Amino acid sequence: MAKAAWDAEELRDRVRGFAVAALAADDAVLIADETGDIKKGTKTAGVQRQYTGTAGRVENAQVSVHLSYGSGRGRTLIDCELYLGRNWAGTTADHERRCAEQGIPPERASAVATKPELARRMLERALAASVPFTYFLADEAYGQCRALRAWLEEHQVRYVLAIPKTEVLPLPDGRTRQARELWALVPEDAFERRSCADGAKGPREYDWAAVQLASVSTGLERHLLIRRSTVPNKKDKKTGGLVREIAYFLCHTHPGATVAELVAAAGQRWMVEESFQVAKGQVGLDEHEVRKWCSWYRHTTVCMLAMAFLVTVRSRFIPAPPMTPDPRP
């Protein structure tokens, strides 16, 4: 994996084009998320004690950020970046020697590139390759990053991003309010009951409402999309009783976007979780035994190639919907 003469970046780009050609549709989305692999020792590139959702706790692990492409025709991983935390960023001689042993590029070894920054780099590559998609989706770890949101808005990328309840949002009249404060002001009759996707037990129904926020200079609009569970299912920390769980999504979209459209977009984020399950269960994404930087990228890229092949074969049994020109900016 380390010594063979081939370019993982070139293969990555070819895999992306191959997958997009098979899966492109009017409902296609790009989704950023991370996954982790628990490791022993300290020499594998990127390994350190850090939180990983795979274990649900802090472990000695390797964490990577991925970009998934999905539509009604299927979903697969199309890009990847290995996350290097503080243990891998420094300027001392010992640190430089350690990174050199693993083949880590100097620009990645000198400073930490955050997970939202890694997601932005992958999005840049997707935009440069003219990948067709409707929305960019991600969870709170990315949605609360204002630098990422500003970049998306500057490039007129429509998004639906989960945000924490304390996120401060701008209103059309110039005031600002936290997301949870805006939820408290929404009248009951403004909520609509809709299914965002089908789950293992049938349609995943929630109550939804949207609040108009300040628009951006590019002519697109911002909305706060609020999701409320239909029954009490979360324990209140103050009273101990059950309350309805509330989730918040910041949306950057075209004028006139409906709640139904935003709900459908928000419900597609689950596809990245399915991509990870397939990658680890069927093509060995988490079964590498490599330490070096280039070896990790080569193994991961070959796994993405295997996934793209499988999803392309499967997509041939799904009638291709006609691609309609998107008149929206």
pLDDT value at position 94?
85
CA 152 to chain centre: 13
- pTM of the full structure: 0.92
pLDDT at 264 over 70: yes
> Which among 226, 267, 266 is positioned nearest to 247, based on CA atoms?
226
Distance CA 306, CA 86 (A): 32
pLDDT tens digit string along 67-101? 999 999 999 999 999 999 988 888 788 888 889 99
pLDDT tens digit string along 204-244? 899 999 999 998 878 899 999 999 999 988 888 888 889 99
Q: Where are the beta strands (DSSP E) in 103-187?
A: 135-138, 159-163, 168-170, 176-178
Distance CA 110, CA 147 (A): 21
pLDDT bucket at 328, cuts 50 / 70 / 90: low
Phi, psi of 176 (to 5 degrees): -130, 150
> Which among 74, 77, 71 is positioned nearest to 32, based on CA atoms?
77
Per DSSP, the three-state class of 190 is helix
pLDDT at 327 over 90: no
pLDDT tens digit string along 114-141? 999 999 999 999 999 999 999 999 999 9
Cα distances (angstroms) measured from residue 103 to each of 45, 60, 83, 147: 8, 20, 14, 29
